[in-house]
Amino acid sequence: MTTEMKSKIRPIYSELQGYLSQAPKSNNIIYEEACWNQVNQTIAELKTVCGISFDKFLIEPHKDSKEQYVERDTFRLILGGLISRLHGEYFSDELAPFRGMPSTIKTQNEQQIKSVQMFLDIQSKIIDSSKQFDEGSKEKKFIDKLKGSLSTVSNVNDLIKLCLKLAEEFGVGLATVLKIFS
């Protein structure tokens, strides 16, 4: 691709990124026609500049009995897909516009679900490994204290710090800690 073509596409590419960054984050439904109309006009401009149809990325509103609307997640998904497509076709030699490319953009809700799942898995491992040690042993006391302290942990760093602190406090070696989590 020529530098001239890239320079023609770049403003449109940046404009689309701007729309995505300003897309509503709190409402599930977008009722403002200007939102999707502006994006659709930019897609039409892109077709004029590139000579390639990006019509599959046009945002088509739904209509209920009163007015037209677009689901927020659909709006963001379509914009993100178009931006990723443009990046892949025209700007692949540059840093990706989204962290984690080419993996999907995760919503905050997905991240929270994974975090909760991770802590449930850890709690399950701790409970299961608790059965391996005799009541009253330093290992059993370590596990019981760790299990009781999990509610204070908010991230992986906190968990690691807690494990190491308690292991030292109860005189439990690293091999035992590894055994608990394997």
pLDDT band at residue 45 under the 50/70/90 scheme: very high
State the pLDDT at residue 43: 95
Please tell me whether residues 158 and 171 are part of one structural domain.
Answer: yes
Domain hosting residue 159, numbered range: 109-180
Q: What is the mean pLDDT of residues 29-48?
A: 92
Domain termination site, one of 104, 132, 162: 104
State the pLDDT at residue 102: 43
Instruction: Write the Ramachandran bin of 135: left for phi over 0, alpha for psi from -120 to 50, otherwise beta.
Output: beta
State the pLDDT at residue 110: 67
State the pLDDT at residue 121: 82
Please tell me whether residues 18 and 99 are part of one structural domain.
Answer: yes
Please tell me whether residues 98 and 8 are part of one structural domain.
Answer: yes
Composition of the chain by helix, strand, coil, percent to 5:
65, 5, 30
Please tell me whether residues 158 and 122 are part of one structural domain.
Answer: yes
State the pLDDT at residue 104: 45
Domain termination site, one of 72, 104, 136: 104
Q: What values do phi and psi take at 102, rounded to 5?
A: -90, 10
Distance CA 96, CA 83 (A): 10
pTM: 0.54
Domain termination site, one of 57, 73, 104: 104
State the pLDDT at residue 38: 94
Instruction: Write out the two tokens for 182.
Output: 């394997």
Per residue in 65-119, pLDDT (tens digit) is: 889 999 888 898 999 999 999 988 888 888 877 655 444 445 556 666 677 777 7
Distance CA 65, CA 82 (A): 30
Q: What angle do CA 121, 127, 133 make, to 5 degrees?
A: 140
**E strand segments, the chain:** 29-30, 62-63, 68-71
State the pLDDT at residue 103: 41
Please tell me whether residues 51 and 25 are part of one structural domain.
Answer: yes
Distance CA 174, CA 69 (A): 57
Q: What is the mean pLDDT of residues 29-52?
A: 92
Per residue in 110-169, pLDDT (tens digit) is: 666 677 777 778 878 888 888 888 899 999 899 889 888 887 877 778 888 889 999 999
Per residue in 7-32, pLDDT (tens digit) is: 999 999 999 998 888 887 777 888 88
